[in-house]
Chains A and B, each alone.
Chain A
């Protein structure tokens, strides 16, 4: 991370609870790929030239619980439908920013990469089967941070779905790149320091550009300097 990125990261952390757009900017500054994305503030007009279609339209707020369940995510939006979709969102979620992202085509499993602070051991990272059923599969493995690239590789090989990274049914989802993302997530959590609480990158998918984070949530803890935006009860998973 260069000096400018560090300043940007600090600004976001001081600003309050990062929303999806900001969280993805942080991921990106740690070398984790995210889709091209535009955040539209209320009243702001969309520059169609800047959008790659088909697009994904999402409500963008750290305060919205379960955005998928609330109809806050629409996939496969073509250029002819984008204006209408945005209008619907603005009526449904007044005064909340909207995210317009390129839609990523992927194959293979949806993964989760996360980080959290264990009360006994400190910072820990996780990789596993992701998606909305992640807590049903429970196919995850943990390690403490910091961890080596090699150790991240062992985490991956421990998973039940491990064969999917090594040629199973023609799937070759670059395990080295995935290991790199795990170590980057650990690094990110470590750099945030004391205010770090949780990170979920879910789903993380394998596209023709490699592993890419389609959604992410970063939760900061009580040690945060600026308490303007109280976390309230809004930190739940989508």
Chain B
């Protein structure tokens, strides 16, 4: 019985029951309930022993609830979870999150328990996220069931990236780190054991969601490989889909009997299939977050010509090296600036500045010079992507540089990526740029890699449009 495919009541519920909500500090049920007190909607604690939880009237079971809630978060042990899940299904609660571990990841007995959850979804209209999941975090409606301490609380400001992770830890750690330098998150979804809802369901939902402009996945196993790819192709026409596929799946036993089988392993087929179906592939959590941040914040590049602006020659040289290094089949090249641009930069800076790409204004540069040079480069027709270095250590540079650069970037139709580095203050400046809507990274290598994501995105769009 799987016609209940609408995830609105999971991701945008009007009311939630927390089963296992308790006053006892440190318990998962307490943490989740406490977090949901900020939720914009009704939240009901369900606990067989308590009359009140954190000042709210508690209900002994789901049947006693004053309404049929949209979502039940089941935060009790595995065996009890199965029993309660059945009650929830009977009561007609459309969506459940089963938090507990101890299911298929934990041997034979756990597998049996998980089978019982599966049979609930077959016999009722109820759909299940999990088990063994951290659940959800959607900043816009303060729906947060993540019970581990998560740095990504700093992502409460929200954004447009839907981050869907088979591993809860990878999700919270990666996003926690990304939040240091600014990351705009629409939603976090922990898939857990995927006994029912899986990556395909969320791909479809966030693919249609107008508040989402980029989807990022951490996946270890694709439940419906081919269908996921086909859906991803449809979604990628509208918005970028980035996937980190970790772990090599098993190849058939007879794979060793041919060159093709041995060369395939399993990984090269994944790579080829992702290319074919419009998915941008990444290989670690940092790259996943970088790609999502870039693709969510910047338009696809019109071409592959990169210009670099810097007050420090060495970073210009390194940047040029990164640009010209072929990587992942995406070729970038250093833009040739027009004479007009070169003269414009020179007239607004110094005779000793190097005004060819990479443009080095030297450590004597001030805020205005950088702003003027950035403007000139953005307006050059020979440039598709700009990497602008923001260094705060030169004596004539002030904190206003953030605003100077950001205002130029905001009015630019071309993608501009900021590279900034300032010792222990690096993250602070990156967050300031993020608040201004600017995409920035703390190394020249990551800034150039971001440029590659934008070129890859443009190539995907071109391939899809010319195929249909």
What is the bound-complex CA distance between A82 and B87, given in angstroms?
A: 83
Is A179's CB within 8 Å of the partner chain B?
no
Q: Are B260 and A199 in contact (CB under 8 A)?
A: yes
Q: Are A119 and B251 in contact (CB under 8 A)?
A: yes
**A186 to B: closest C-beta gap in Å:** 12
- For A49, list chain B residues within 8 Å (CB): none
- For A134, list chain B residues within 8 Å (CB): 259, 263
Q: Contact check: which of B225, B258, B276 meets A219 at CB < 8 Å?
A: B258
**B77 to A: closest C-beta gap in Å:** 33
- A155 with B258: in contact, given A120-B225, A150-B467 (CB under 8 Å)? no
What is the bound-complex CA distance between A140 and B262, given in angstroms?
A: 12
**A237 to B: closest C-beta gap in Å:** 5
- For A237, list chain B residues within 8 Å (CB): 257-259, 262
Is A142's CB within 8 Å of the partner chain B?
yes
- For B272, list chain A residues within 8 Å (CB): 124, 126, 141-144, 155
Total interface residues on B, using CB and 8 Å?
33
What is the bound-complex CA distance between A150 and B468, given in angstroms?
A: 11
Write out, one digit per residue, whether chain B residues 109-120 have a CB within 8 A of any chain A CB (1) or not (0).
Answer: 000000000000
Q: Contact check: which of B222, B249, B254, B259 meets A202 at CB < 8 Å?
A: B259
Q: Are B271 and A114 in contact (CB under 8 A)?
A: no
Is B340's CB within 8 Å of the partner chain A?
no
What is the bound-complex CA distance between A200 and B255, given in angstroms?
A: 12
Is A235's CB within 8 Å of the partner chain B?
yes
Among B257, B258, B329, the one with the most A-chain Cβ atoms within 10 Å of its Cβ is B258
- For A118, list chain B residues within 8 Å (CB): 251, 264, 266, 269, 273
What is the bound-complex CA distance between A158 and B328, given in angstroms?
A: 9
Q: Are A124 and B264 in contact (CB under 8 A)?
A: yes
Is B423's CB within 8 Å of the partner chain A?
no
Is A217's CB within 8 Å of the partner chain B?
yes
Q: Are B263 and A199 in contact (CB under 8 A)?
A: no
- A219 with B254: in contact, given A126-B260, A135-B262, A154-B463 (CB under 8 Å)? yes
- For B263, list chain A residues within 8 Å (CB): 114, 126, 128, 134-135, 138, 140
Write out, one digit per residue, whether chain B residues 136-154 have a CB within 8 A of any chain A CB (1) or not (0).
Answer: 0000000000000000000
Q: Which of A104-138 contact B (CB under 8 A)?
A: 112, 114-122, 124, 126, 128, 130, 134-135, 138
- For A217, list chain B residues within 8 Å (CB): 258
A-B contact sample (18 more), CB < 8 A, given A115-B260, A142-B268: A114-B258, A114-B259, A116-B260, A118-B269, A120-B222, A121-B229, A122-B226, A124-B264, A124-B269, A134-B263, A143-B276, A144-B273, A151-B467, A154-B275, A197-B254, A198-B255, A200-B258, A236-B256
A-B contact pairs, 17 of them (CB 8 A): A114-B259, A118-B269, A124-B269, A126-B263, A135-B263, A140-B268, A142-B273, A143-B272, A144-B229, A197-B254, A197-B258, A198-B254, A199-B258, A202-B259, A217-B258, A235-B254, A235-B257
Residues of B within 8 A of A (CB): 222, 225-226, 229, 249-252, 254-264, 266, 268-273, 275-277, 329, 463, 466-467
Residues of A within 8 A of B (CB): 112, 114-122, 124, 126, 128, 130, 134-135, 138, 140-144, 147-148, 150-151, 154-155, 158, 197-200, 202, 217, 219, 221, 235-237
